[in-house]
Chains A and B, each alone.
Chain A
């Protein structure tokens, strides 16, 4: 017999996250988890369509990270048609992708995660919102976040055709070379972004790191899971977003796996739970041992902190400095404290800005040769990028005419789903005792999974509304005894 608490979003106005908390006879938490509804039917929808349409189709799946899907799909087409894009095409793709990573991370760091650490959980509830963040960092900073994002999004739009649904990626390259004027504008925007990144790091140091309570909160056991970590790395084992080797480190930080990302199926398997649409990915070689951490559990983590753990640092100078500071402040690698994702995110933001500056300054990026025409008969293609929220995998099989026969996507949040479930469970356990359910649960539980920036957005773009979350508490018989909603 157990009771269950459900945090359910009922309406699209409120979003889609749903948390269930099952209580045991003593009123303590037996099991808690986050349920994330997903779009259904993608595979069926894709079947019979032209593979070349996938970058456009998949970018429409999600209103949050269309560029990540566009890029993973485009790379899958390179692989499908066995064609290697010219250097300039790869550089332009990475330039645009870095701009996208920057603007996405900037949004989350300041306005979505900001209330948790720039304002802080101890601040009055009325201040724990975007306006509180602006109050803390100042109006000018708020305007600069909007301004720099706006500038980058305009450049992404001009380069990729459309900012929301990019159209520039083709198998073997791009639809057009980079205009020299745009290159100059990218260079200027990148310089601004680098300054902004350095400034954001400064804000983090001043507002957060000098607050002992924050460091205590970050390192608290309640927000710590010792899992495997996954990410793409470059030839020097540094973090890379666009292209690299898939690397996994074990909970002790030792390299566990290094492979061509196209071999993902040999290493990643999916576990299904009756209570979720989500398929929980895990490391095949370790095996599924349930929602638990440690060396024996195949659960792994992706997203900013996992990328830092899975790498040997950052490829650019300011980001590398910031990386070293994180590692030394938090007691060495690997860092398993979920809330440190916010810090890792700002370090990645700096890297994205610096990488943009490098690419924009590269004369080769203006080369007019941006397409290698595909000639191979298509069979199977896999494309992998690091999306803002972690490793994103697109996998297509086609017939000889290039029509999709099978399509599989593993999205970043899916890679993180098991660990997110563990975080929700741990937070709920810490807060619910003897049947007493504190309303603070909502916020504490949210903090646990907000650090991952999980994408519930694949189906959700609904504009109005407040919280995407309702908590339902179920009794030992499964009945809902209480719902906590933010109204």
Chain B
């Protein structure tokens, strides 16, 4: 299972650097468990980054004005929105995913979006605002937790698989029986 951590942002534009900084901070720590990518691209141009991964965490800044700065909102891809008519460069994540699916490309089956409410993502050369700077640590922790949850799921799946292998022919779970490496004969 390949995992992508994608930090989005513009490192010159104040709080907009948040996603990039979180990704950067996690790069070494997550080495071997996830690929950490920083990008300032948007929309469809991101398609190529996602292709080939099974799951992804996207970290980005957001300014809704509805939450206090420093608020972290977690969204699943399904929460982000349905496919709608695209506009400008803003083909959204759902469109990117739908397109990848239609074209038969390998796209993460699960994508979590961590959006950090920021103060000013527009001023070039600005420092991080205080609430955003204070939230980078917790935000990185959320990413790390997600990666660990996935690792645990993988471990549990592997154990089930091993278990299913030992009890082959018994009542193995579907996910085991279809993927168990002990059943190559089914393709022969």
Contacts and interface: CB of A to CB of B under 8 A. Distances in A.
A446 B58 CA distance: 28
Given A40-B123, A60-B11, A60-B12, A463 B58 contact: yes
Nearest to A38: B122
B95 A129 contact: yes
B86 A13 contact: no
A39 B84 contact: no
A57 B11 CA distance: 10
Given A40-B122, A164-B39, A459-B13, A464 B87 contact: no
B45 A107 contact: yes
B103 A112 contact: no
A465 B93 CA distance: 7
B92 A45 contact: no
A139 B103 contact: yes
Interface stretch (B75-83, B147-155, B156-164): B75-83
Contact of B103 (A14, A38, A63, A146): A146
A244 interface: no
A284 interface: no
Contacts of B45: 63-64, 107
B119 to A, nearest CB: 12
A111 B43 CA distance: 11
A446 B87 contact: yes
Contact of B60 (A129, A134, A454, A462): A462
Interface string B59-101: 0111111100000000101001111111111111111101100
Nearest to B39: A164
A128 interface: yes
A477 B91 CA distance: 36
B8 A12 contact: no
Contact of A64 (B42, B66, B113): B42
Interface stretch (A286-294, A327-335, A371-379, A466-474): A466-474
Contacts of A205: none
A134 B94 contact: no
B89 A115 contact: no
Interface bin, chain B: 35 or more
B188 to A, nearest CB: 32
B59 to A, nearest CB: 10
A258 interface: no
Contacts of B65: 10-11
B42 A461 contact: yes
A112 B125 CA distance: 31
A458 to B, nearest CB: 9
Nearest to A107: B44
A142 B84 contact: no
B89 A465 contact: no
Nearest to B77: A464
B63 A12 contact: yes
Given A128-B85, A465-B92, A11 B64 contact: yes
A158 B185 CA distance: 44
B83 A129 contact: yes
B12 A57 contact: yes
Leading 3 A-B pairs by shortest Cβ distance: A45-B125, A63-B40, A461-B42
Given A459-B13, A462-B8, A464-B115, 5 more contacts: A10-B65, A456-B90, A461-B10, A463-B113, A465-B93
Interface of A: 10-15, 17, 37-42, 44-45, 57, 60-64, 66, 107, 111-112, 115, 125, 128-131, 134, 139, 142-143, 146, 150, 153, 164-165, 443, 446, 450, 453-457, 459-469, 486
19 contacts: A11-B62, A11-B66, A13-B80, A13-B92, A38-B122, A63-B10, A64-B42, A64-B45, A129-B83, A146-B103, A457-B89, A459-B10, A461-B8, A463-B46, A463-B113, A464-B80, A464-B115, A465-B92, A467-B90
